[in-house]
């Protein structure tokens, strides 16, 4: 089963749906196949959170399953403090979790896919263009 994280641009920062899905996964429960939803405050924040460097880190975590942030930093050829800062931001948004592995914190991505909705505005639908 493919786990999908749905991201939308909105005015709320309610992460409860996402947090509930993460909690269920943590205790080994099956989760609703409907995508968990993360609401990002605005386009500026979305652009900061989903920079190419962030996507590179997420992809490296999924593909390589690093045992620590230091190992992840080596994989992407970056300095560990830079990677730590970015990973902590991704953790704050629920995009990455940490699992303790001895003294190391292992970054984990629990979803396989990100689906993004960006509403450009409200427009009345003209029947001739439907």
CA nearest 95: which of 68, 69, 57, 125? Answer: 57
* pLDDT tier, 16 (very low <50, low <70, confident <90, very high otherwise): low
Q: Is the model's pTM score more than 0.95?
A: no
Please give the structure tokens belonging to residue 49.
Answer: 């959170």
Domains in the chain with CATH codes:
4-119 (1.10.10.10)
What pLDDT score does 31 carry? 60
Work out whether strand 97-101 and strand 104-108 pair parallel, antiparallel, or are unpaired.
Answer: antiparallel
Separation of alpha carbons 99 and 68, rounded Å: 9
pLDDT in tens, 57-96: 999 999 999 999 999 999 999 999 999 999 999 999 999 9
Helix, strand, or coil here: 78?
A: coil
Q: Which long-range contacts (CB under 8 A, 24 or more apart) does 40-43 make?
A: 40/7, 40/8, 40/9, 40/10, 40/93, 41/9, 41/10, 41/11, 41/13, 42/9, 42/11, 43/9, 43/118
Sign of CA dihedral 118, 121, 122, 126: negative
Q: Give the end-to-end CA distance of the chain in Å, rounded to a whole number.
A: 34
pLDDT in tens, 36-51: 889 898 999 999 999 9
């Amino acid at each position: 089963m493919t786990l999908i994280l749905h991201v939308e641009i909105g005015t709320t920062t309610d992460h409860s749906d996402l947090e509930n899905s993460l909690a269920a996964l943590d205790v080994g429960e099956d989760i609703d196949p409907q995508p968990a939803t993360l609401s990002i405050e605005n386009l500026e924040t979305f652009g900061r959170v989903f920079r190419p460097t962030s996507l590179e880190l997420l992809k490296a975590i999924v593909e390589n399953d690093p045992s620590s942030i230091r190992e992840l930093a080596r994989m992407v050829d970056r300095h560990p403090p830079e990677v730590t800062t970015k990973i902590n931001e991704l953790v704050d948004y629920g995009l990455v979790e940490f699992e303790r592995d001895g003294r190391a914190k292992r970054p984990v991505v629990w979803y396989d896919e990100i689906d993004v909705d960006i509403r450009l505005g409200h427009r009345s639908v003209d029947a001739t263009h439907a």
